[in-house]
Amino acid sequence: MGELVLIRHGETEWTRSGQHTSYTDLPLTAHGEDQARTLAALLGSRPFVSVFVSPMLRARQTAKLAGLDEIQIDPDLREWDYGGYEGVTTHDIHRTRPDWDLWRDGVVPGPDGHRGETAEQVGERADRVLSRVDEAFRADGDGDILLVAHAHLLRVLTARRLGLPPTDGALFLLETGTVSRLGEEHGRPVLTAWNRMG
């Protein structure tokens, strides 16, 4: 079986400022575009069986600039819905909730359609993605599968792939414009590379 390759999209204005970004559809900055272009060298000539991409503009732009042409949009790859914390920094949240932690405490409700998600709800989406990934591996196990998405979603997905609860995604810091890989050793899922930059 091939590896599961993860790409976090390139920089946006809000990733640079530290604002929580889920459903706000921001484009990449010029630096984010450069990050995406350099990913092509890290991907090399790997044979990808499938490429699944978040529907958000920042992920789609990253995939395109990285030279990924044949993609499948997967709505389950969208970022953790931050609800009422959309566009707010952790620093600002700590002004009223000094001990707040996303992984432990979750978010407050936001506008209609964006009530926010718990780590467990994000984990359910990640599990659905992983089910589709496993189907693709079974159909053609010789190549790799690539996901282009967002930091918190990919951290939760990594935890789930490794058999951990969704909240253990807190252990996997993920920078913009990076490539990470999940594989197997002796039939057990393992990290084979993390946070590689071009």
Check residue 140 and give its pLDDT.
81
Quick one: average pLDDT of 162-190? 97
Residue 83 lies in a domain: no
Residue 96 lies in a domain: no
Residue 182 lies in a domain: yes
Residue 31 lies in a domain: yes
Active site residue 186: no
Burial of 179 (0-12, 13-18, 19+ CB in 10 A): buried
Check residue 167 and give its pLDDT.
98
Residue 10 lies in a domain: yes
Residue 105 lies in a domain: no
Residue of 3, 11, 33, 79 marked catalytic:
79
- 175 close to 160: Cβ distance less than 8 angstroms: no
Active site residue 185: no
Quick one: average pLDDT of 117-124? 98
Residue of 9, 20, 150, 152 marked catalytic:
9
Q: Please state, in angstroms and rounded to a whole number, the distance separating the CA atoms of residues 150 and 32.
A: 13
Residues 37-49: tens digit of each pLDDT: 999 998 987 889 9
Read off the CATH number of the domain in which 44 is found: 3.40.50.1240
Mean pLDDT in the chain?
96
Task: Please give the tally of structural domains in the chain.
Answer: 1
**Sheet hosting strand 188-196, strand order edge to edge:** 72-73, 48-53, 144-149, 4-8, 178-185, 188-196
- The full DSSP string for 166-198 is GGGGGG----TTEEEEEEEETTEEEEEEEEE--
CA 98 to mean position of chain CA atoms: 27
Residues 58-107: tens digit of each pLDDT: 999 999 999 998 999 999 999 999 999 999 999 999 999 999 999 999 99
Alpha helices in the chain (DSSP H): 13-17, 30-43, 57-65, 90-96, 102-105, 119-139, 151-161
